Chain A
Amino acid sequence: MRDQDSRPLRPVARSASATPTRTDVAAAQGIDATPISTELPSGGRRHLLRPILTVIPPMIVFVLLIAVWELGVRILNIPYVTLPAPSRIIQTIPTIDELWSDAYYTTVEEALPGFLLGSGLGFVVAVMATHSRFFARGVLPYAAITNSIPIIGMAPISVALFGAEWQSKAVIVAILTFFPMVLNAYRGLTSVDPVSLQLMRSYAANWWETLVKLRFPASLPYVFNALKINTTLAMIGAIVAEYFGGPFAGLGYYINNEAPELAMDKAWAAVVVACAIGIGAYMIVVIVERIFTSWHVSYRSGR
């Protein structure tokens, strides 16, 4: 049992006669459906127990972490202006009236339009790059260079050009989310099997039909990977842009206002809300991904 359980981690322990399975080979070669996969290699064949086994250990760790935080603050008598206890943070959340309007403003009015605009434009540019080799060779190097540049530094430029209201935040979020989508979507759109392309050709399918019926489905895992990266970037972009002068609303503005005044319970309450929104947005993308890419090999049973 233990052998099976730890198979991908300790292949030495396997009996020498066993031939490597397809999953083993794929895992060994570092091949993965998505460019940055964060999923663990699946263990044994205990399908019924697996969900419980994967959920329980992190739950225990989570509870332990919170308990250590709470007890640590109480036993060491840490004042709340340094670090408030979890219980105090949770109790503070319902007492702040403007928290929900701030959260709504940051998420729905700033991050969401920028996220949609940047991801949408990124996908369009990736499709154009798939269509034209010249365009691909011209644009992709720039998209790749942005990986090594702190784009978030452009937030004050956006605020200077587009004002302190939500527009400037949406623009910087759009810029941040644009490049991961271009790179991932292009990789996905061109990840189709050459044989499939030849098949489409033998059906006399035109470029558009090939795009819709072959390239779009093939790109979905990559596109969703970019969307997952972009949910975080969208929240980061909106909050950082609020540090550079805001409309006196939004989570970033609120936190940056309360923290220097040592109202740390309030600041942490807003931090918790921001984290919850970040994780929630990520989960939404994961759920939509499961619905749209349930056919994909990484979700098939047996893996």
Chain B
Amino acid sequence: MAESTASFEALGTRPTLSRRWLDRILPVAAIFAVLIAIWYAAAIYFNLHYLNIHMQDVDPNGWNRLSTGEKIHEALTTGQPLMPTPVQTIGDLLTRLTQKPTAAGGLWVDVFWTGHAAILGFLLGTAIGVALAVLFMSSRLLAQSLMPFVVASQTIPIVALVPAIMVSLGLGLRSEVLISAYLAFFSITISTYKGLQSVQPLAFELMRSYAASPQQVFLKLRLPAALPFLFTGLKIGVTASLVGAIIAELPAGSPHGLGQALLNASQYSLNILLWSTVLSAALLGLALYGVVVLAERMVVRWRVEVME
């Protein structure tokens, strides 16, 4: 029933602020509270489990004398937790974000490195993706011959290729950008191709009656029609390019980068650092996504419903 009520609501007048608050924000806040509660519960469970084993070696008598409440307190405040609490994670993230951006070994250096690779990969992936879509649009034979490979390229676990690519092409930014572009181009090709064909047949007939040249049909009809679809692909692609940049840093020694930071924190079991790095990668993802959404708002000013 939910969707029918929602559509009626969309047709009706704008709901009042308190109504909107109840409808939209309350559910999200409720689930947020549940998630945080689960996080704390999990932190207590994992850290107690860890401390129960660990403290038997360090100070068994002292640990066993503690009451359950004191043990839980210890589990939530220990400096080397198996699973840090939200407060510890966000605290560590804020400490590292307020460091000088150029500080050696700081978070900003890693964020810039990975962000740089992801943005270059995204731009390259966009260029390849759009070029392929235009190529497929212009030749049915090419589309038929190559599209299966575009699809197959996504069914293979690209990450398996990453170590091989890194060794073949050499370590460093160039390989990282290529892997990032490889992950990004697919959704851009598919959605742009679909968008280029999303023009109403009537509009083609109109252009024909204007004696428009193929270039004019492309520039004035197909391209504007493809833009909303292109942005759908770009939104998927920008996250994929970040995933690609992070994964590319995993197999072998990248000097900086979030993937490298994850690997280091993981190998030395620095769990607070690990969690805050994961959180910063998520925030970087949201920021890049936000930039694409902003660009979409600026470019596509007309309202179009795009089936994703």
Which residues B46-87 have CB closer than 8 A to chain A?
Answer: 46, 82-83
Answer yes or no: B99 CB below 8 A from chain A CBs. no
Interface size on A, residues (CB 8 A): 89
Whether, in the assembled complex, B155 has its beta carbon less than 8 Å from a beta carbon of chain A, the answer is yes
The reply on A291 being an interface residue by CB < 8 A is no
Assess the B201–A274 pair: CB atoms within 8 A. no
Interface flags for A239-251 (1: CB within 8 Å of B; 0: not) read 1100111000001
Q: A30-B229, A40-B147, A157-B278 are in contact. Are A275 and B243 (CB under 8 A)?
A: no
Candidates A30, A37, A240, A282; contact of B250 at CB < 8 Å: A240
Closest to A152 in B: B243
User: B141: CB under 8 A from chain A?
Assistant: yes
B308 lies within 8 A of A35 (CB): yes
Report B112 CB to chain A, min CB distance, Å: 16
Complex CA–CA separation, A148 to B27 (angstroms): 21
B200 to chain A, nearest CB (A): 5
Minimum Cβ distance to chain A for residue B201 (Å): 5
Whether B199 contacts A28 by the Cβ 8 Å rule is yes
CB distance from B210 to the nearest CB of A (A): 11
Helix, strand, loop or mixed for chain B's interface? Answer: helix
B247 at the interface (CB under 8 A from A): yes
Among A141, A154, A271, the one with the most B-chain Cβ atoms within 10 Å of its Cβ is A271
In the bound complex, CA of A150 to CA of B111 (Å):
13
B24 within 8 A of A: yes
The answer, yes or no, to whether A130 is at the interface (CB within 8 Å) is yes
Q: A236-B158, A267-B164, A271-B164 are in contact. Are A148 and B285 (CB under 8 A)?
A: yes
Chain A, residue nearest B155 (CB):
A282
Contact A150 B262 (CB under 8 A): no
| C-alpha spacing A159/B140, complex, angstroms | 47
Measured CA separation A117–B50 after assembly (Å) = 26
B67 to nearest A CB, angstroms?
26
Interface residues contributed by chain B, number (CB under 8 Å): 92
- Residues from chain B with a CB closer than 8 A to the CB of A62 are 149
Q: For the complex, what is the distance from the CA of A28 to the CA of B205, rounded to whole Å?
A: 13
Number of A-B contacts (CB under 8 A): 232
CA distance A154 to B229 in the complex (A): 30
Q: Is the CB of A279 within 8 A of B152?
A: yes
A245 to B267: give the CA distance in the assembly, Å: 8
Q: Provide the residues of chain B in CB contact with A156, threshold 8 Å.
A: 262-263, 265-266, 274, 278
Decide yes or no whether A60 CB sits under 8 A from chain B: yes
Which residues 6-20 of A have a CB within 8 angstroms of B?
A: 6, 8-9, 11-12, 14, 16, 20
Measured CB to CB, the residues of A under 8 A from B are 5-6, 8-9, 11-12, 14, 16, 20, 24-25, 27-32, 35-38, 40-41, 43, 53-54, 57-58, 60-62, 81-83, 129-130, 132-139, 141-142, 145, 147-150, 152-154, 156-157, 159-161, 190, 194, 197, 231-232, 235-236, 239-240, 243-245, 251-252, 255-256, 259-260, 262, 264, 267-268, 270-271, 274-275, 278-279, 281-282
- Report, nearest first, the 5 A-B pairs whose CB atoms are least far apart: A138-B27, A148-B289, A156-B266, A57-B145, A138-B31
List 9 A-B pairs, Cβ < 8 Å.
Answer: A35-B307, A142-B31, A161-B46, A190-B2, A232-B155, A235-B160, A251-B160, A256-B163, A259-B166
